[in-house]
Amino acid sequence: MRPDQPIREQALAWAMLTREPDFADWDGFTAWLEADAEHADAYDAVQFALDEADAALDIMPETEFTLAANDNPPKGWMTTRRAWLGGAIAASLVLALSFIFGFGPQGETLYATAPGETRLIALDDGSTVELGGGSRLAVLDDRAARLEGGQALFTIRHDAADPFVLTAGADRLVDAGTVFDVRLAGKALDLAVAEGAVIVNPEAQALRVDAGERAVRTGERYWVGPIDPQAVGEWTRGRISFEAASLAEIAAELTRATGIVFTAAPSDIRLAGSIALDQVRADPRALEALLGVRVTPRGKGWVIAAE
C-alpha cells in the first residue's frame, strides 16, 4: 500500500483484496485501519458502493445488460464469450444425448445421462444400477463397470466367487454383498454403503467400508466416517445432502441432479444441508431458505452466492 496514495484509493485497493476469497492478510489490513481513523470510513464507503453495484448488476436480467452494452460501443466482450459458452453447453448436451446408449471399445456398453435425468440400468444377473443426472457409466459385463463421472447407486447380487468390481477414477471398488452409492467429481470420490461392504483398492489400501459407512477420497487421502444407511442413495428419492461443500460443488451437484444450470459466485464458505429436489425444480430460490444463500437468476440459469 503506497502511503502517498489518496485514502480513497488505498481503501479501494484494500476492498479489492478483502473481496478475494483467499485473502489472508487481516493483520496488515488491521494495521492500515489503525493508522488513521478516516481509513475505516473510506473503506466502508467503497465497500458500500461495490455492494450496490453488485446488487444492481445482479437484479438486471442478462439480456438487458448486454443490450445496455451494445448501446455503448465498443461491444461488450462478455457478450461474445457468453454466446460461445452457451454453444459449448448446448454441444455437450447433444453429445450426452447421443451417448445415452452406445457401444464402446471391447464391447463395453456406455450409458450417459443428461443433467436432471436419471436412468435405471438392469444387469443380466439381477443387479441394478441407478445412474444419476449428468453421469457416465461404462458397463463391461455383469460383474464389472467403470464410473467415468457423476453418481450411481449400485444394488449388486453378491457372489463371493465372482465379486462385482467398479472402477471409479483411480480406485477399484470390490463389493462384498452390497447396496452402495458412488459419486465421482473430477478426482474426488465419495462412496457410501447401505448394505454389505465394499473393499476399496484390494491390492493397495484394501480399505473396507461397511454398511453405514462412507469413504471420501480427496487427493491421496481417504477419510472414513459414519453415514445414516437410510440416507444412502437418497438422491434416487429426490433428495441430496451436503457436508462442508463449497458453493461450486453445490452448484455442480444441483445442475447434475435437476438439469437447471446453477453456477456459484466466488466464496470460500462451506455449507451443510439437505435439499428436496422437487422444491428446487419448482423454484430455485427455495435454496435461499434451505441453505442460507442468495440465489439470483442470470441468463437461463441461476447464481448461488454466499449470504
Residues near another protein, by CB under 8 A: 8-9, 12-13, 15-16, 18, 20-21, 23-24, 26, 30, 33-34, 37, 40-41, 43-57, 59-60, 64-65, 68-69, 71-72, 74, 76-78, 81, 244, 263-266, 268-273, 285, 288-289, 291-296, 307
Q: Which is nearer to another protein, 59 or 122 (CB)?
A: 59
Whose Cβ is closer to another protein: residue 32's or residue 164's? 32
Q: Looking at this protein, which amino acid is placed at residue 151?
A: Q
The least distance separating another protein from the CB of residue 165, rounded to whole angstroms, comes to 34
- Integer Cα distance of 103 and 140 in angstroms: 10
Looking at beta carbons only, is 51 or 125 nearer to another protein? 51
Residues in a beta bridge with 276: 239
Q: Is the omega angle on the peptide bond into residue 73 within 30 degrees of 0, that is, cis?
A: no
In angstroms, give the least distance from the CB of 264 to another protein: 7
Neighbours of 211 (CB within 10 A): 18
Q: Based on CB atoms, which residue is closest to another protein, 104 or 292?
A: 292
| Residue corresponding to grid cell 496514495 | 5
Rounded to a whole number of angstroms, the minimum distance from the CB of residue 156 to another protein is 34
CB of 137 to another protein, least distance (A): 31
Nearest approach in angstroms of CB 188 to another protein is 17
**Shortest distance in whole angstroms from residue 189 CB to another protein:** 21
The C-alpha atoms of residue 299 and residue 297 are separated, in whole angstroms, by 7
| d(C-alpha 48, C-alpha 51), whole Å | 5
Residue entry with cell 478426482: 187
Report the residue number, 30 or 230, with the smaller CB distance to another protein: 30
Query: What does the alpha-carbon distance between residue 180 and residue 199 come to, in Å, rounded to a whole number?
Result: 11
Q: Which is nearer to another protein, 28 or 126 (CB)?
A: 28
CB of 294 to another protein, least distance (A): 6
User: C-alpha angle with apex 199: 196 to 204, nearest 5 degrees?
Assistant: 170
Amino acid at 228: D
Of residues 64 and 124, the one with the C-beta less far from another protein: 64
- Whether the Cβ atoms of residue 14 and residue 1 lie closer than 8 Å to each other: yes
**Which of these, 7, 4, 3, 20, lies nearest to 46 by C-alpha position?**
7
